[in-house]
Amino acid sequence: MFSLKELEEAVGFVHGAMPPTPQYSWPLLCERLGCEVWVKHENHTPTGAFKLRGGLVFLKELLASGEAINGIITATRGNHGQSIALAGRNHGLPVTVYVPHGNSTEKNEAMRAFGAELVEHGADFDEARVEADRVASEKGLTFVPSFHRWLARGVATYAYELFRSVEDLDTVYVPIGLGSGICGVISTRDALGLGTKVVGVVAENAPAYAMSFEAGEVRETNAAATFADGIACRVPSREALSVICRGADRIVTVSEDEIADAIRAYYADTHNLAEGAGAAALAAATRETEAIRGRRIGLILTGGNVDAPIFRSVLSGKTPGLYRTA
């Protein structure tokens, strides 16, 4: 998707706006999985999630293109919207963000705090996305998709930091929402000439990318009813799927209970807060402990923006939305 030179230019730009995030090997987590585990802490960005990197680079490239911009509009479950809101604020651009009804209260508040006008529409992300795209055409606004090569190049900067800091990673587990994160990791690995296996992770209740990967073409689902809202995708990106099919080793599907267990494990072993999508990589690695035993792996903790009621429910031993003990 991009060259090493393009990636390094993006790294320089992103680091001008935020410091690199850390990657730590936590002893208790290593004991839990029986291998050397490195966690990439994208929950430590200024928005609490990896998406900020993509928003920064997307707005930079958009402005450099010379396109007339009357305003920015996008759709999100939260982290992408925060990234565009912050980047838009940095450039003095008005940003409108569409979210589905019932979206995370705290993510909504964060987007407003970064200056976005928030509009609720539809039952899920994809319905909000379709409406935002329609309004963009109606009002002459610039629509920012949730997958784009500029976004992928921006978020790829976390993969560059990880690969440059930790040598000889056997496998990196990456949650898949719309695909910018995993495509960034695959493209960075290839640009650096590494042999690391890249494994995508989806929720059982939002399996569109797993189904599409197996079929080799886009497969949509009618629902994405996972409490891990960052990976609640019904309609995969064809461009992202192409990169994933060429470059991912496999896609692991994890249950709601496994995601909740992983949130608890992160808190117990590292005292870090992981949202559902952020914990999905750990859930997948936990499922594959025999295969990774004794190896060196990376886990992308994509974000920590979980609403307090959900986190309380998880810490009490429940799986949000399912109301049963773990």
Residue 264 lies in a domain: yes
Q: Where residue 108 falls among pLDDT bands split at 50, 70, 90?
A: very high
Q: Is the pLDDT of residue 326 over 50?
A: no
For residue 41 the two structure tokens come to 């802490």
Supply the pLDDT for residue 196: 98
For residue 14 the two structure tokens come to 């992103």
Question: What does each C-alpha distance from 31 to 34, 95, 231 come to in angstroms?
Answer: 5, 45, 27
Domain boundary among 85, 120, 144: 144
Contact between residue 68 and residue 91 where contact means Cβ atoms under 8 Å apart: no
Q: Are strands 95-99 and 72-75 parallel, antiparallel or unpaired?
A: parallel
pLDDT digits (tens, 9 = 90+) for 1-43: 899 999 999 999 999 999 999 999 999 999 999 999 999 999 9
Supply the pLDDT for residue 1: 87
The mean pLDDT of the chain is 96
Residue 322 lies in a domain: no
Domain boundary among 113, 144, 175: 144
Whether residue 73 is found in the same domain as residue 135:
yes
Residue 33 lies in a domain: yes
Q: Where residue 321 falls among pLDDT bands split at 50, 70, 90?
A: confident
Whether residue 90 is found in the same domain as residue 198:
no
Domain boundary among 85, 119, 144: 144
Q: Is the pLDDT of residue 324 over 90?
A: no
Residue 253 lies in a domain: yes
Whether residue 35 is found in the same domain as residue 75:
no
Residue 320 lies in a domain: no
Residue 275 lies in a domain: yes
Domain range for 135 is: 51-144
Q: What is the CATH number of the domain that holds 135?
A: 3.40.50.1100
Query: Distance (Å, rounded) from C-alpha 222 to C-alpha 48?
Result: 30
Residue 12 lies in a domain: yes
Q: What are phi and psi of 298, to 5 degrees?
A: -120, 140
Contact between residue 241 and residue 210 where contact means Cβ atoms under 8 Å apart: no
Whether residue 222 is found in the same domain as residue 163:
yes
Contact between residue 273 and residue 265 where contact means Cβ atoms under 8 Å apart: no
Question: What does each C-alpha distance from 282 to 180, 188, 244 come to in angstroms?
Answer: 19, 21, 20
Whether residue 303 is found in the same domain as residue 159:
yes
pLDDT digits (tens, 9 = 90+) for 181-239: 999 999 999 999 999 999 999 999 999 999 999 999 999 999 999 999 999 999 999 99
Q: Where residue 248 falls among pLDDT bands split at 50, 70, 90?
A: very high
Supply the pLDDT for residue 325: 32
Average pLDDT value for residue range 79-102: 96
Whether residue 116 is found in the same domain as residue 138:
yes
Whether residue 202 is found in the same domain as residue 251:
yes
Whether residue 169 is found in the same domain as residue 272:
yes
Number of domains the chain is built from: 2
Whether residue 44 is found in the same domain as residue 55:
no
Whether residue 45 is found in the same domain as residue 90:
no
Residue 259 lies in a domain: yes
Whether residue 208 is found in the same domain as residue 310:
yes
Whether residue 31 is found in the same domain as residue 62:
no
